[in-house]
Amino acid sequence: MLHLAIKALISGMLIATASTLARRYPGFGALIASLPLVSVLGMIWLWNDKPDPANMAAHAEATFWYVMPSLPMFLLIPLLLRHGYDFWISLTLGCCLTIALYAAMTWIGPRFGLHL
């Protein structure tokens, strides 16, 4: 249980740091948020729990393929905001787009030999 609390604390501190920096320096906050820190931490936590190279390789590769369908959200949200849409509507539509693209990736990926 302590291990879970430590993982949550470290992960939460990274998110808090990025959002705090973004208030004063939006670009720098975005840079911190865009770093694959969550993925790297996830791999560290996974390796500590199950040090299996094949499992880690599969996890890292699947992470790459799941990052791709999440990227259009970061174009849709600012587009909607600049056209006067409310933040919550923009965020919801961006998340819905990402979910749809994730579903498409899990449906199309195996047809191209991707093991997700």
The residue ranges of every structural domain in the chain are 1-51, 53-116
What lies within 8 Å, CB to CB, of 80 at 6+ separation is 89, 90, 93, 94
pLDDT by residue (tens digit) across 11-21? 888 888 888 88
pLDDT by residue (tens digit) across 43-83? 998 999 999 999 999 999 999 998 999 999 999 999 999 99
Calpha distance 23→61 (Å, rounded): 33
Tokens, residue 43: 């791999």
Enter the pTM of the model.
0.76
Alpha-carbon distance values, 13 to 9, 25, 44, 75, 113 (Å):
6, 18, 16, 26, 37
